[in-house]
Structure 1
Amino acid sequence: MAVTQPTLTALDVMRDAPVIPVIVLHDVRHAVPMARALVAGGIRMLEVTLRTPQALECMRAIAAEVPDAVVGAGTVRTSADAVAAARAGARFAVSPGFTPAVGRACRDAGLPLLPGVATGSEIMTAQEEGFFALKFFPAVQAGGTAMLKAWQGPFGDVAFCPTGGIQPGNAAEFLALKNVACVGGSWLVPADALEQGDWSRITRLAREASALQRV
């Protein structure tokens, strides 16, 4: 009998932990031990980016073998990406930008979407389509905390996940803002840790990220 997964919202994804790891996987053999290492450190929402040919197979492996993880698809740019990710077991989606077509495809596939925005007009477009939990990307390059503070007035009903240029040294500055629900970052899964199979290092980085404070 198939197991029915609980329904997620984009805010559920953003509020589960202070950091959503942005993960690039080139080897399917790394997927399951990496996911287990992140979960052991308190990070369950795992954004596996569609930047490699192995990404969908990695999602399938995590979805099948790491029940405590919630695998999501990052770098979703087309409707076809959304459909493929859902079929691979993804339970949420993250996009670098936003189009209404991608938004509809994610809804049709049952994937909560964190659409990427970098301007006020993009925020308004996403809101017109019913999206109020958004990814601010590329965060540092597009104005950083100053931009987020400026948006608190006109877009006080939006929760953001800043991603792009976020590191341990500046994550706390973003998480201190009232319109930031979490941040996204690639530092939790360093490429050399994957290659070396250093799962304890990934668990340590996840544990440190889980301990970050947010308002």
Structure 2
Amino acid sequence: MNTLLRSMLVVLISVLTLSACQTADLSKQTSQTIKMPNITVSLDSDGVPDELDQCPNTKMKGNVVVDDRGCHLIMGPDMNLKMEYRAFFAKGSSELIPKYKVELDKVAARMKEYDTAIFKIEAHASEDEINKELSSLPKNRALMIKNYLLLKHGIASSRLMALNCEARAPIAPNDMDEGRSFNRRVYGLLTEPDNEYPVNLKNGICVKF
């Protein structure tokens, strides 16, 4: 009997407890607006935020490149700078034909991009061109290249090194017409000024003029 009464009492208490609980009325709640702080990012003249810029005085102009710290990015000699140029000539001629002018335009564009670069111009001749009448031919070929860059593109003369190699550095045999046509050439190389090239100059094969 006592056990039954206790069980009924537990059930009664549970019913009373459940009836006392109420569901929250969400309709009475008001919305709240959370204010987000305004973040202002100020960019200096090189496009990097001042808060992150370790070189605030750099400016973006011309072909100047800055890194993610806002400092000038130093381009080494092996980063897109080195460029070779070749032009070939008819026997006894220093005339630069159109397709070689187009390639020279590309050299000029690279020189304007890297304003410390030096262009070395090796002028060569075939053995059958080395005589009294044609003794100045290699120089004329080098000057044709140099003057084109000077006059058309405004490249400073101090950045152009002209070398006369005459017929002392052939790249093909001189006993056949085809070989001689390859030797009537100008070879140019665009590098940093401290590059040790050209070896031909150091060995006395070519002469600077």
- Could you say which structure has the higher helix fraction? 1
Task: Name which one, 1 or 2, has greater alpha-carbon Rg.
Answer: 2
With the shorter chain as reference, the TM-score category is under 0.3
Q: Taking structure 1 as the reference length, what is the TM-score of the superposition?
A: 0.25
